Amino acid sequence: TLYGTSPMNKTIKTLEEQGYSMVAGINGSFFDRSTGIPYGIVITNSILRSGGSANAVGFLSDGSALIGDPTVAVTLDYGADTPLVLNYNKAMTVQNGVLLYSQDYDTRTKNTIDGYHVIVRPVGSRAAELRLGQSLTVEVIGMVEDTKSCSIPEDGFLLAIANDTAYKSALAALKGMVMGQQMTIQVTCASGWENVTSACGGGDMLVENGQVCTDFTLDSAKKMAARTAIGVTNDGSLILYTCDEAGNSDGLTLAQLAERMLALGCRTALNLDGGGSSTLWTAQEGVLNHPYDNRRFDHEGERGVPNCIVVRR
């Protein structure tokens, strides 16, 4: 599930127990440390597991990669003039409007504030799955009021909004839904991303069209820190990169990281979660770098992370 985190060594062990022959891996998305929920998109097996508006890296069935802004949007057409914008599989706050949950999130929402919930189920024989560039018709089958942690149905979705939401009209829209009402969930994305089979969100672009980027939004962009990045070269090769802020390494600023990715031949490159999350694993050596977290130690000093980008034979 999306909720919670896992050290990379544990993730790799789980994949190997499932019969995969692993080669290498790095940590992936930025995430909420209190819940483990990633900020950007997550896609596995061509199914959207979590939404988000951040830059991302996506992989096609042939192993080639896309890096950039997937502009994924999840909306609900419920019969009004304007569809509702949905935040898919994210923690509830008073500021983030209408949430949509599947069991990819967890079996319950585990929110800390009271909300109003509408239970919906796909019409016909469709599975409760969202895919980029596709729509899904759902039917209202129940409501749950004034609940913090609400059960998420196995065969459907849960619409939710905080009781004290800043979006009162959206709350009224959910409260106005009735049993048996049919609605359409639409998932749109940038051209080319509809064919992505797996993806995770990242942060600032480091290299675009063979040029280093300089306009960074990350608050630690100018600090020397441990970093993780992913890039694609002109011949389509994938670069997985990690630097430490430990031992003989002082870390890198984002500007220095961008220069480094360009020097490695990247035509595009993306900054991933860094600091104590930075982890690089190989089959020959295990965890190669020295991930360090002042506040929490997990397996062999690793910080638990929400997802990893892994390479297998």
Predicted confidence at residue 301, as pLDDT, reads: 63
The residue that leads in pLDDT, 144 or 302, is 144
For residues 186 and 188, what is the distance between their CA atoms, to the nearest angstrom?
A: 7
Q: Give the DSSP H/E element, type plus range, for residue 109.
A: none
- How confident is the model over 27-54, as a mean pLDDT? 96
DSSP secondary structure string for all residues of 111-157: -SS-EEEEEEEESTT--S-B-TT-EEEEEEEEEEEEESS-B--TTSE
Of the candidates 68, 27, 117, 18, the one whose C-alpha atom is nearest the C-alpha of residue 308 is 27
Using a cut of 0.75, tell me whether the model's pTM lies above it.
yes
For residues 156 and 123, what is the distance between their CA atoms, to the nearest angstrom?
A: 10
pLDDT (tens digit, 9 = 90+) per residue, 234-273?
999 999 999 988 777 899 999 999 999 999 999 999 999 9
Length of the chain equals 313
Mean pLDDT lowest among 191-200, 258-267, 283-292: 283-292
- How confident is the model over 97-103, as a mean pLDDT? 98
Burial degree of 34 (CB within 10 A; 0-12, 13-18, 19+): exposed
* CB 58, CB 66: distance < 8 Å: yes
pLDDT at residue 183 tops 50: yes
For residues 155 and 169, what is the distance between their CA atoms, to the nearest angstrom?
A: 28
Of the candidates 220, 224, 219, 217, the one whose C-alpha atom is nearest the C-alpha of residue 253 is 224
For residues 252 and 229, what is the distance between their CA atoms, to the nearest angstrom?
A: 11
